[in-house]
Amino acid sequence: MLVLCMLYISSKWSENYGQSDGQTGSNFGKALGALFEDKKILLCGLICSSFESSMFIFVFNWTPCLMEPNQPVPPFGHIFTGFMIFCLLGTRVYAYLAKTLAVEQIGAMVMVTSTACHLTVFMFQDVQVRFVAFLVFEACVGLYFPMMGTLKGDIVPEDMRSTMYNIYRLPLNVIVLMPLLMNFSISTTFAVTTGIMAVAVAAAFLLKATPAAVKHQELEQIIESD
């Protein structure tokens, strides 16, 4: 059924380019230029790629982290339910924090806490300690998505958002594949994610220190020159 729908859509529907001319090459070049010319866009991309790559690596590795030799298999369904509860809790916490703190401040707090969670998994072998660290990290995930959505909306220009978001995902995919292809141990994997999260922490604090007054001035000059 899906194949039939795909064939029908591809033969009957034309591409909707909106108000653009459909020339993606120039849009990619403009977005790439903006990425390296506007400090805020670059820092936002570093935070996004670093955090989400660490999050996806965590997704592939949390189950073996909670298993012990010569012990029954943990109730992974209940554990995953706990993760989702803490993720939802983090989303609700963001709603309260957003009333009093700037989004850049929330981002810096989330990055520091997430780094501490990954470092805990690297340093401790105790399953209970790792489980608590995972719960806190899931709360950070719940905080991250509304924070990053707000941050991207404030920083990335609307006319190049889809292109810029795809550029953000390029290093993300490479980083996620690296520990999977190289078959790292659990300790090595979380040492890698801790280092990646350290990059996100540095980018978050640099973004917080960047004056809001220079938000898009250089970027507008680039767009006008093109």
How does pLDDT run across 117-135, given as a tens digit for each residue?
999 999 999 999 999 999 9
Taken as a whole, the chain contains a residue count of 226
Say what the pTM is.
Answer: 0.81
Mind spelling out the 3-state secondary structure of 103-157?
A: HHHHHHHHHHHHHHHHHHHHHCCCHHHHHHHHHHHHHHHHHHHHHHHHHHHHHCC
Higher pLDDT, 104 or 226: 104
pLDDT, tens digit (0-9, with 9 covering 90-100), for 140-195:
999 999 999 999 999 988 888 888 888 899 889 989 988 888 888 889 999 999 99
Give the CATH number of domain 38-66+75-208: 1.20.1250.20
Q: Summarize pLDDT for 49-93 with one digit per residue, the tens.
A: 999 999 999 999 999 999 888 888 999 999 999 999 999 999 999
Q: Which two tokens stand for residue 77?
A: 């369904």
| Packing angle of the helix pair 103-123, 39-65 (nearest 10 deg) | 30
Say yes or no to pLDDT of 213 above 60: no
Residue with tokens 């298999």: 73
